[in-house]
Amino acid sequence: MRALLNARVLVDGNFAERLAVLVNGDRIAAVLDSADVPVAAERVDLAGAMLVPGFIDTQVNGGGDVLFNDAPTVDTIRRIGAAHARFGTTGFLPTLISDDLDVIRAGVTAVEHAIEQGVPGVLGIHIEGPFINVARKGIHAADKIRSLDGDGIAVLCSLRRGRTLVTLAPELVGAATIRRLAASGIIVAAGHTAGSYQAINQAIDAGVTGFTHLFNAMSQLGNREPGAVGAALLDEKVWCSLIVDGVHVSPITLKLALRCKPIDRFLLVSDAMPTTGGTADGFALDGRWIRAENGRLVDEQGTLAGADLSMIAAVRNAHHMLDVPLAQAVAMGSTHPADFLKLGDQVGRIAAGQLASLLALDTDLTILRRWINGSEVE
């Protein structure tokens, strides 16, 4: 039993002082007044730091110089997780971009085994494509894009442990299939889509609950056709993930988006590639060389290829670029993604019964200490 003391603790959306967080094993046992800490508890003095929930990243393509698609194995997941843990990510979905079904099968198997083996932070898998619209493919390889048939559905529904998030183009999949996926427990997000406002709304009615990297690779908000962006911003129930790096979307555009609906329906993602937490200045993707250049990852044609971003940087950017209050910026990186994944009763908050995945931060948002499931991580 350990008591984390002398910190400003983020509880119920506000920072509070004179609280202690009591950790027993991998869980938070209690949040209580510092004066009420049991005598037998080990006391950990956080020297006035901010204590916040660890970040949850629903879109992690790579990190530590490896890409999940290239080697969909437990070792790759472990390496990616370790790279991102340095930046405050205590829960994540290893993410596959459009690829062949055998690669997706291998990725699902790897995630299954990673969860079984207790690889720190693994919450499930994000399968982004290949069931997307080639007109909005972005960096995804056109020859990997395919229609969603019975074999594809079987693969998407095959993970037995953890969450499965699927990004697809609703206009090409259809409402009946979306209903089938949602009924199987799949979290369905619209992305890489050219769908009309009407088509996207029908997909929301069928079970789409999220939008992957809002504004990027989707039909835009127009004067006569609101598109996928319009549907995402008008519906107050659906979640929207944001890449806040100052590159993918203008901060002005993101500020406007945040005014359209409750902020608790926005979550931060890194969309990270191998360069995050790595040493190389580029990597190969489907035979193309992707280079890191002034905070951007681009191919020879200048097409963006994911992001060179971490979750702590995304939280800082939301706070400084978008003027989001600090407590809300932290929630966008922790509480909101947990709720989107339907894991809000397990992670993403500092409360009794939650997994003890926590960060101690300085006032400039430097990470001082971090814990995943109660274990401190260097």
Q: Is position 128 annotated in a ligand binding site?
A: yes
CB 160, CB 185: distance < 8 Å: no
Q: Is position 343 annotated in a ligand binding site?
A: no
Q: Is position 349 annotated in a ligand binding site?
A: no
Does residue 271 have an active-site annotation?
Answer: yes
232-237, Cβ contacts within 8 angstroms, sequence gap of 24 or more: 232/190, 232/200, 233/257, 233/260, 233/261, 234/260, 234/261, 235/201, 235/204, 235/261, 236/261, 236/262, 236/265, 237/204, 237/209, 237/265
How many alpha carbons lie under 13 Å from residue 158 in its C-beta half-sphere?
Answer: 20
Residue 122 per-residue DSSP state? B
Q: Is position 213 annotated in a ligand binding site?
A: yes
By CB atoms closer than 10 A (0-12, 13-18, 19+), residue 88 is: buried
> What phi, psi does 354 have (nearest 5°)?
-75, 155
* Residue 181 neighbours by CB under 8 Å, 6+ apart: 153, 156, 157, 166, 188, 207
Q: Which amino acid is at 46?
A: L
Q: Which amino acid is at 99?
A: D
**Catalytic residue of the set 57, 271, 308, 339:** 271
3-class SS of residue 97: strand
CB 339, CB 348: distance < 8 Å: yes
Q: Is position 367 annotated in a ligand binding site?
A: no
Q: Is position 156 annotated in a ligand binding site?
A: no
Report the alpha-carbon distance of residue 170 to residue 130 in Å, rounded.
12
Report the alpha-carbon distance of residue 38 to residue 49 in Å, rounded.
22
- Residue corresponding to tokens 């088509």: 199
Q: Is position 139 annotated in a ligand binding site?
A: yes
How would you label 312-331 residue by residue, b for 16+ Cβ within 10 Å and e otherwise?
Answer: bbbbbbbbebbebebbbbbb
The secondary structure of 200-219, three-state, reads: HHHHHHHCEEEECCCCCCEC
Q: Residues comprising the binding site for substrate?
A: 139, 216-217, 224, 248, 304-306
Q: Residues comprising the binding site for Zn(2+)?
A: 128, 192, 213
* Residues catalogued as catalytic: 271
Q: Residues comprising the binding site?
A: 128, 139, 192, 213, 216-217, 224, 248, 304-306
